[in-house]
Amino acid sequence: MLSAIWETEGLQTVGIVVLVFASIKLLHLLGLISFSEDSVEDELELSTVRHRPEGLEQLEAQTSFSRKELQILYRGFKNECPSGVVNEETFKDIYAQFFPQGDASTYAHFLFNAFDTDHNGSVSFEDFVMGLSILLRGTIQEKLNWAFNLYDINKDGYITKEEMLDIMKETPRQHVEVFFQKMDKNKDGVVTIDEFIDCCQNCAMQTFDHR
Tens digit of each residue's pLDDT (9 = 90 or more) over 104-130: 788 889 989 999 988 899 999 899 899
Q: What is the DSSP letter of 10?
A: T
pLDDT at 64: 94
pLDDT at 204: 63
pLDDT at 55: 78
**Within 10 A of 52 (CB to CB), how many other CB atoms are there?**
13
pLDDT at 104: 72
CA distances from 129 to 71, 117, 166 (A): 11, 12, 26
pLDDT at 81: 79
pLDDT at 205: 61
pLDDT at 168: 86
pLDDT at 73: 86
Whole-model pTM over 0.85? no
pLDDT < 50 positions in the chain: 1-18, 20-21, 32-50, 208
| Cα–Cα distance for residue pair 59/74, rounded to 1 Å | 11
pLDDT at 23: 54
pLDDT at 76: 81
| Cα–Cα distance for residue pair 111/98, rounded to 1 Å | 14
Identify which of 208, 211, 184 has the alpha carbon closest to the alpha carbon of residue 198. Answer: 184
